[in-house]
Structure 1
Amino acid sequence: MTEILSVTPLRPELQAELEARFTVHRLDQAEDRDAFLGAKGAAVRGLVTDGGQKIDEAFLARLPALEFLSCASAGYDGIDIAELKRRGIRMGNVSPALEDDVADTAILLLMAARRDLPRAHHHVTSGAWAEGSYPLQHSFTGGRLGIAGMGRIGQAVARRAEGFGKEIGYLARSDKPGAPGRRFADLAELAAWADDLIVCLPGGEETRHMISAEVMAALGPEGILVNVGRGSVVDEAALIAALTEGRLGAAGLDVFANEPKPDPALVTLPNVTCYPHHASGTVEARGAMARMALDNVLAYFDGRPLPHEVTL
C-alpha cells in the first residue's frame, strides 16, 4: 500500500478513512520524531499536514520519495514552497472550503468597526446609556471598499460588499476576469482611494508588513482596516501608533503577529474589534476543510483531478 505521513491528523472518521486506504505513519504520535522519520520517511509518497507546521527543506529531505502534499488549511506559511517546486512535488489545499465563512467574518468585522460595536456594547453594559444616548455613527451601506488580495476569499468579500452598495477597488498583480471593481497596482493608492480596507493576503516574507505606516496614513483618520489574512502582513507597531494617535479610525482583526498572545497594547485599544483567528471556525467549514484535505490525497493517488491544487 502507498505510504502516507500524517503530521496533522484529520477528524477521527476521516483519519480512519485515510488509514483504511493507505499505510499511514502518525508523526503526531511519535515519541522521537527524528528517529521516526529515519525509520519511515524513505518510503513516504504522500504527506498530510497544515500550514502551521514547519515543513522546510531539511524536513522534506527526509522524504525522498514524496510526490504529494495535502495541506489541511488555506494558509501554508510554514511550508517551503520553493523546495516543493524544485522537487516537482504537487500540493493541494482547502481554501474553497472556508472562503464563505472567512468572507462573512470580514464583513462582520468591518460592520462592527464601522458602527463602533465594542464601545456601543460597553455603553449598554456599563450603565452609561442611562446618562445619554450613544453618539451617531456613519452608515455601513455605500462608500468605497478596498480589498488587498483578490483570490477566492477576496472575491467572496467583494460579492458580499456589492450587496451593501459598495464600490470595489482591489490590489492584484493583474486583472481578475469576472472580479468586480477597479484594479490598483499600488497598495497606498488603493488605501487613499478607499474608505475602508480589507486584507485577504497570505503570509510569508513577500507580504510581510505590506500594510505599513504609509498605507495606514493613506487610509486616514476615518478609515477602517480589517485583516482576515495573516498577522505578519500588518506592521503592528505602526498600527498601534496610528490607532492611538487618531491617524486611523479603527481596526477589525481576526489575525495577529503573535498568536495566541497578541500585543496587549493593540487588543485593549477601544477602537479595535478582535476575533481569535477564528474566521473559518464553524462546524461546517472545518468539516469541509478536513474532507477536502482527504479528497485531495485520494484524487492524487487515484490519478484524478484534485478538488483544489495550489499552483507552485
Structure 2
Amino acid sequence: MPPREAVLLLCPIPADLRAALAERFELVDDRPGEGPRPGFRIAVTTAINGAGATQFERMPDLRLLSSQGTGLERIDLAAAARRGIAVAYTPDVMTEDVADAAIGLMYGAARLVAEADRFVRAGRWGQERMRPGISLHRKTAGIVGLGRIGQAVARRCAGLGLTVAWTGPRPKPGVPWDHVPSLMDLAERADVLILTVPGGADTDGLIDAPLLRALGPRGILVNVARGSVVQEEALIDALRTRTIAGAGLDVFATEPGLDPRFLALENVVLAPHSASITQETRAALIARILDDIEAFRAGQPFLDAAAGRG
C-alpha cells in the first residue's frame, strides 16, 4: 500500500474534521517557529485563522489551501495566486443554518428567551414578574449585506411577518425587498438590524455609536457576520445605557476571549460562534472539504477562491 499523503494543519481544527482527514491522510501540525515546511502540497486552515504570504513562503511546495468556512478576509488570495496555490473553501454549506441562528438570536434578544430561562432557574418566578419583551410581528428587519446568508435571513423574516429592507453597495435586480442605500437610514427605519456582511477592511467598525443611537432604545442588533464589523466599546455602552434594547451576538472582536463586560449585561444573548454548528452542516462541510481535496489530487475542477487573483 502506498504511503498516505501528508497534510499540514496550519491551526487547530475541530475534532470531527480532524478525524475525517486522519482516515485518509497523515496529519502534521504546523509549528511556525520550526522554519520552512517543504514537501507539503496540501494545507488546511479555518476562516478565522486564515493564512498569509509569510506562511506561504515557509511552504514552497504548497499547491492547495483548504479553508473551513465562508470568510476569505484572513486569507491572502493574491499571495496564494502568485505562488500557484489554489484556495478551496466552503460557501453555501452553512448558509441555511447561519440564517436560522440569526432568527434564533433575534427572538432570543427581543423575547428575552435566555433571560427568561435564567429567571426560572433562579427561582424568581412566582416572587416577581419578568420584564416585558419586544414583539416582532409587523416590525421591520434591516439586513446589512444581502449575500447568500443575508437573503436567507430576509426570506425567514418575511415569512415571520416582518417587513424587510436591506442595505449594500448596490441594488440587486429581482430582489423583492427595499434597498436602502444609506446604512444610517436603514438603522433609523429598522426595529432589528441583522449583520450578514463579510469581514475585512471595508466593513471594519461599520457599526458605531451614532448608528446604534439611530437604531434606538427599542432596537435589536444581531451579528452573525464578524466581530470586527461592530465597534464593541460602542455596543457595550449602548447596551449598558439602554441606548438600544438588546443584542444577539454569535461573533466577537477577540474570540474566544470576548470582552468580559458582555457577561454582566442581561440584555445581550451570547453564542460561541456556533451559528453554523449543526450535525447536518458539519457533515456537509466535512464532505465538501474532503471532496475538494480529492478533486485537487485527481486534477479535477473545484471552486478556487484564488483563481484570477494574481
1:197-208 equivalences under 5 Å are 197-208=193-204
What TM-score, normalized to structure 1?
0.85
Determine the structure 1 residue equivalent to 2:289: 293
Q: Tell me: CA distance 1:176–1:70, structure 2 relative to 1, closer, same or farther (3 Å).
A: farther
Q: Tell me: CA distance 1:119–1:34, structure 2 relative to 1, closer, same or farther (3 Å).
A: closer
SS in 1 for 2:99: helix
The answer to which of 173-182 and 55-64 deviates more is 173-182
Does residue 123 (structure 1) correspond to residue 123 (structure 2)? The answer is no
What's the C-alpha RMSD, in Å, of the aligned pairs? 2.5
Deviations 1:75-100 (A, max 9, x none): 34432233224445432211322112
Counting matched residue pairs gives 300
Alpha-carbon contact 1:147-1:199 (below 8 Å) kept: yes
What TM-score, normalized to structure 2?
0.86
Q: Distance in 1 between matches of 2:128 and 2:50?
A: 53
Does residue 238 (structure 1) correspond to residue 234 (structure 2)? The answer is yes
Q: Distance in 2 between matches of 1:87 and 1:197?
A: 40
Determine the structure 1 residue equivalent to 2:139: 143
Q: Distance in 2 between matches of 1:297 and 1:150?
A: 30
Q: Distance in 2 between matches of 1:274 and 1:217?
A: 21
Q: Structure 2: which amino acid aligns with 1:234?
A: V
Q: Distance in 2 between matches of 1:190 and 1:89?
A: 40
Q: Tell me: CA distance 1:69–1:54, structure 2 relative to 1, closer, same or farther (3 Å).
A: closer
Alpha-carbon contact 2:7-2:28 (below 8 Å) kept: no
Deviations 1:264-289 (A, max 9, x none): 21232111111111112222212221
Q: Tell me: CA distance 1:6–1:126, structure 2 relative to 1, closer, same or farther (3 Å).
A: closer
Q: Distance in 2 between matches of 1:283 and 1:236?
A: 31
Deviations 1:118-162 (A, max 9, x none): 332333333333135434433222221111122221121112112
Determine the structure 2 residue equivalent to 1:194: 190
1:18-29 equivalences under 5 Å are 19=25, 26-28=27-29
Determine the structure 1 residue equivalent to 2:8: 5
Q: Distance in 1 between matches of 2:206 and 2:81?
A: 25
Does residue 78 (structure 1) correspond to residue 41 (structure 2)? The answer is no
Deviations 1:192-238 (A, max 9, x none): 12111111123233321111112211111111001111111110100
Determine the structure 2 residue equivalent to 1:277: 273
Alpha-carbon contact 1:14-1:291 (below 8 Å) kept: no
Match of 2:305 among 281, 293, 310: 310
Q: Distance in 2 between matches of 1:119 and 1:54?
A: 35
1:30-49 equivalences under 5 Å are 33-35=32-34, 38=36, 40-41=37-38, 43-49=39-45
Alpha-carbon contact 1:91-1:310 (below 8 Å) kept: yes
SS in 2 for 1:278: coil
Match of 1:166 among 162, 165, 181: 162
Determine the structure 2 residue equivalent to 1:212: 208
Q: Distance in 2 between matches of 1:180 and 1:46?
A: 42
Does residue 16 (structure 1) correspond to residue 12 (structure 2)? The answer is no
Does residue 222 (structure 1) correspond to residue 218 (structure 2)? The answer is yes
Which stretches in structure 1 are left out of the alignment for 5+ residues?
none
Alpha-carbon contact 1:158-1:180 (below 8 Å) kept: no
Alpha-carbon contact 1:50-1:76 (below 8 Å) kept: no
Q: Distance in 1 between matches of 2:190 and 2:94?
A: 26
Determine the structure 1 residue equivalent to 2:97: 101
SS in 1 for 2:272: coil
Q: Tell me: CA distance 1:2–1:16, structure 2 relative to 1, closer, same or farther (3 Å).
A: closer
Identity of aligned residues (%): 38
Q: Structure 2: which amino acid aligns with 1:95?
A: P
Q: Distance in 1 between matches of 2:180 and 2:28?
A: 44
